[in-house]
Amino acid sequence: MASGYQSCAQNPFLAGTSASGSLFYLKDHNIMSLNFTGRVAIVTGAGGGLGKQHALALAARGAKVVVNDLGADVHGDGGSVSAAQAVVEEIRAKGGEAMVNGASVTDYEAVKAMVQQTMDAWGRVDILVNNAGILRDKSFAKMEIADFRLVMDVHVMGAVHCTKAVWAIMQAQNYGRVVLTTSSSGLYGNFGQANYGAAKMALAGLMQTLSIEGEKHGIRVNCLAPTAATRMTEGLMPPEVLNALQPQAVVPAMLVMASEDAPNRTILCAGAGSFEVAHITLTQGLHLGLHDDTAEQLAAALAQVKDPAGQMVPLSGSAQGGHEIAMALAAHSA
């Protein structure tokens, strides 16, 4: 396999997509361009919006792409592969390789068939971008349980189905890049999106564990937290804001996480050309021991427990217990 990088001087076609979906060139020809030649990618929810831009960008940089989309509306209703087929035709018209798949990510058997279709055609799966999603926004008081369950099913179980279907293949290859799409609504909360927020935070938790389990097999798993104007956000933001949040501005973050030199266990945030990393942290806290009034002591000292000074990013769930035991032992030996 190639090194994963190729200069623009060697291949100026390697770039991305403009706001219109057409190819553009990197302005600084001294920057090494990420190259996906020989890689095979599956992108779910790729018939439009952010998923379409992911597929176009990967194909423009040399990847063979499975464009998956059920073709449902933003609420998950209906279904047609016409939008996904149009993306495939656009990729092929520019000299790339792509094929369409209309599997619902909620149907594990259909997802496994999609992966088998990919293996039959191209013999490997290097990259999985879990992008498929829907919205059923309402305040929690007014939300139907069915709407909560459906959003969880599409976002969480959809990502689980797709990732599980490629996991053994990536283990055997000793190589894989998995991108899960989380959201600021999950990381920080957003009114009217209890179902969506719960699903998106669940994906961050899934990433935390899969990144640990996959590391020894060369599989790197990360989360993308996008802010972009798509069908899913057009009713939530004013036009001038939506205009600034072109989906193409999020794509570079996906490309980095799908590349050979991708990070692992990172929540990369992207929007309007800006990029940040979100962390799930643990404060230094305070050891209070176990007494009849420990609850009262904690209430009085809660500001100190919440103090972010010296907070850490645990390497795994066991770090919390390790930190607590260390504080307890230190207190007892004092």
Q: What are the tens digits of pLDDT across the range 16-45?
A: 433 333 333 445 556 678 999 999 999 999
Same domain, yes or no: 75 and 121: yes
Q: 221: which strand partners?
A: 178
Q: What pLDDT does 27 receive?
A: 53
Same domain, yes or no: 209 and 300: no
Residue 311 resides in a domain: yes
Name, in order, each residue with C-beta under 8 angstroms of 45's C-beta and a sequence gap of 6 or more: 51, 68, 69, 105, 131, 132, 133
Residue 285 resides in a domain: no
Residue 288 resides in a domain: no
Q: 267: which strand partners?
A: 223, 278
Q: Which domain holds residue 56?
A: 5-278
Model's pTM, two decimal places?
A: 0.87
**Cα–Cα distance measured from residue 191 to residue 275, given in angstroms and rounded to the nearest whole number:** 24
Residue 289 resides in a domain: no
User: What is the domain count for the chain?
Assistant: 2
Same domain, yes or no: 318 and 169: no
Same domain, yes or no: 42 and 176: yes
Q: What pLDDT does 5 receive?
A: 26
Catalytic residue list contains 196: yes
Radius of gyration of the chain (CA): 22
Output the CA–CA distances (angstroms, integers) from residue 84 to 65, 101, 112, 138, 226, in the order listed: 11, 8, 19, 29, 21
Same domain, yes or no: 170 and 299: no
Same domain, yes or no: 270 and 323: no
Same domain, yes or no: 250 and 302: no
Same domain, yes or no: 324 and 269: no
Cα-based torsion angle of the residue sequence 168, 172, 174, 180 in order, rounded to the nearest 10 degrees: -20
Residue 144 resides in a domain: yes
Give the pLDDT means over successive 10-residue stretches in the chain (334 positions).
Answer: 32 35 45 91 97 98 97 57 95 98 97 98 98 96 97 98 99 98 96 97 98 98 89 66 86 98 98 96 98 98 98 97 97 90
Residue 18 resides in a domain: yes
Residue 283 resides in a domain: no
Q: Which of 278, 304, 323 corresponds to the end of one domain?
A: 278
Same domain, yes or no: 270 and 298: no
Residue 286 resides in a domain: no
Pairing of the two strands 16-17 and 40-43: unpaired
What CATH number has the domain bearing residue 214?
3.40.50.720
Same domain, yes or no: 105 and 234: yes
**Cα–Cα distance measured from residue 43 to residue 65, given in angstroms and rounded to the nearest whole number:** 7
Q: What pLDDT does 332 receive?
A: 92
Same domain, yes or no: 174 and 320: no
Same domain, yes or no: 204 and 301: no
- Which candidate in 5, 175, 188, 196 is catalytic? 196
